[in-house]
Amino acid sequence: MPNTPIQASAATRRNMNERAIQTPPPGTFEILHADAISGARAGRLWTAHGVVETPVFMPVGTQGTVKTLEPRDLVENGVQIILGNTYHLMLRPGVPVVEACGGLHRFMGWEGPILTDSGGFQVFSLANLRKVRPDGIEFQSHIDGSTFFLGPVEAMAIQCGLGSDIAMCLDECPPYPCAPQTACQAVDKTLSWAALCKRQARAPGQLVFGIVQGGEVAPLRERCARELVAIGFDGYAVGGVSVGEPEPVLLREVEDGVRHLPPDRPRYVMGLGDFGQMVASVACGVDMFDCVMPTRHARNGTAFTRHGSYPVKAGEYKLDTRPVEEGCGCYACRHFTRAYIRHLLNVGEILGVRLLTIHNVNCYMAFMREMRAAIVAGAFEPWRREFAAKRQEQRSAGSGES
C-alpha cells in the first residue's frame, strides 16, 4: 500500500468539529469512577492544552526539558502532563526569553499540558541565601549570586509569562522537623499569599491551585485547607510532604491535607514519587503526583520496575541479556539488554542515561495506567493488596526500592 496522506471525510470533519465544540472548558474535572471502599477515584482534568487522565504522574522538566528526553519520547511513553520549575526558568533563560519565543510550550516543543511550581520550594531550600519578608522572599541566584525577589505577585506574573496550564500559588514550606509555631506562621503566610495569588492576571485558560501547608499538625492542615477552599481555587495541592519525615508521618500529612478538600476538585501531592506512597495517597483521594525520581535515579544508574528498583551498573548484570524490565514495552526494553545499558552507563555514554530515563518514565506511566484501570474496573482494593504483596516479596528477595 502506498503511503498516501489521510484525507478526513466529511463525516470525520463533522465529528472533529463537534468534538471541538464539546470540549469542556479548562478546569473542568470529571470523576468517572469513585472506588466503593477507599477514596480512590479515576477522573479527567481539562486544561488549555488538553485533557489529563487521573490519577496521573507528572515527570519533572526542571529547566525546560525532562532531562535527556525529547517531547516525542514523552508522547511515546504516555506522558500526559509535565512540570516546569519557575525558579530555574526565571534565572535561566529568564521569562522574557521564553515569552519572546512564544511561551514555554512553544519554547520547548511540548504541546501537552504543563504545570509550573511557584519557585517557593527551591527558594526556601536556599537556606543561606534568603531573607523572608512579609511580601515575599529575597534571594540570591545560586548561579551568579545576583539578587532576586519572589513574592506572590511575582510568582504569578512569571507563571503567566511562561503560559503554563496550571500555576501554583506561592507558599511557605517549613522544614521537617519544625516547631508548631513555625508551621503556624508558614500557614498564615501561605494563606495571605494565596489570597493575593488568586487576584493576579493569568495566561489564557490557566488554572491556579492552592497549597495546603501545616507540617505534621493536623488542625493546622485542616485550617489551611478550609481557608484555601474559602478563597476558591481550581485545584488543591498538599505541600510540605516528603521533606525528610518518616513514612507514617508523611501519609498522615497527606490524609490530613486531603480530608477537608472538596471532592469535585483535583488534588495533588507535591514531590511524591514512591510507588507505595502514591498508592496510599490515591486511596485517600489524591489525583496528581510529581517527582524527580524516575529521571534523577536514571542518571545514577537505578532502574525502576513495577515492584522495586536495582542498580543496572552492578557487576552482576555484565552478561545479562534480558531487558531492563521483562515484559516492559518501552523502546529501551524492546531493543537493548541490561548488559549493554550497564556498559554505556559505566563508560559515561549519554545514551545509557537516555535509555534508562525512557524506561523509568515508561515504568511510572505504565504503573499509573494500571492503577487507574483497576479503579475504573472497580477493583482498586484487590489490585492494591496484590501490589503490596508483590512488593513485599520483592523486598524480601533483596531488591526493594532504594
Fill in the per-residue mask, 293 to 332: x = in contact with Zn ion (CB under 5 A), - = not in contact. Answer: -----------------------------------x-x--
CB of 334 to Zn ion, least distance (A): 8
Single-letter amino acid code for the residue at 372: R
* Catalytic residue (choose from 117, 165, 234, 256): 117
CB of 212 to Zn ion, least distance (A): 35
Cell of 18: 463537534
Sheet strands (E) in 293-393: 302-305, 308-311
Annotation marks residue 290 as catalytic: yes
Beta bridge partners of 268: 237, 288
Number of H helices, E strands in the chain: 16, 16
Please say which residue, 241 or 333, places its beta carbon nearer to Zn ion: 333
Is residue 221 a contact partner of residue 214, using CB atoms and an 8 Å limit?
A: yes
CB of 312 to Zn ion, least distance (A): 11
Please say which residue, 121 or 367, places its beta carbon nearer to Zn ion: 367
End-to-end, the C-alpha distance of the chain in Å comes to: 50
Please say which residue, 288 or 328, places its beta carbon nearer to Zn ion: 328
Please say which residue, 49 or 359, places its beta carbon nearer to Zn ion: 359
- Cα 316 to chain centroid distance, Å, stands at 33
- The verdict on 333 binding Zn ion (CB under 5 A) reads yes
Residue (of 268, 298, 261) closest to 69 by Cα position = 298
Please say which residue, 228 or 328, places its beta carbon nearer to Zn ion: 328
Query: CA 12 to CA 120: how far, in whole Å?
Result: 46
CB of 337 to Zn ion, least distance (A): 12
Cell of 187: 500557614
| Residues near 334 by beta carbon (within 8 Å), at least 6 away in sequence | 323
Is residue 135 a contact partner of residue 185, using CB atoms and an 8 Å limit?
A: no
Q: How many residues form the binding site for Zn ion (CB under 5 A)?
A: 4
Query: What does the radius of gyration of the chain's CA atoms come to, in whole angstroms?
Result: 22
Annotation marks residue 256 as catalytic: no
Q: Which stretch binds Zn ion (CB under 5 A): 71-79, 242-250, 307-315, 353-361?
A: 353-361
Please say which residue, 71 or 323, places its beta carbon nearer to Zn ion: 323
Is residue 95 a contact partner of residue 158, using CB atoms and an 8 Å limit?
A: yes
Fill in the per-residue mask, 13 to 32: x = in contact with Zn ion (CB under 5 A), - = not in contact. Answer: --------------------
* Catalytic residue (choose from 73, 234, 287, 290): 290
CB of 42 to Zn ion, least distance (A): 24
Q: Which residues does the annotation mark as catalytic?
A: 117, 290
Residues that bind Zn ion (CB under 5 A): 328, 330, 333, 359
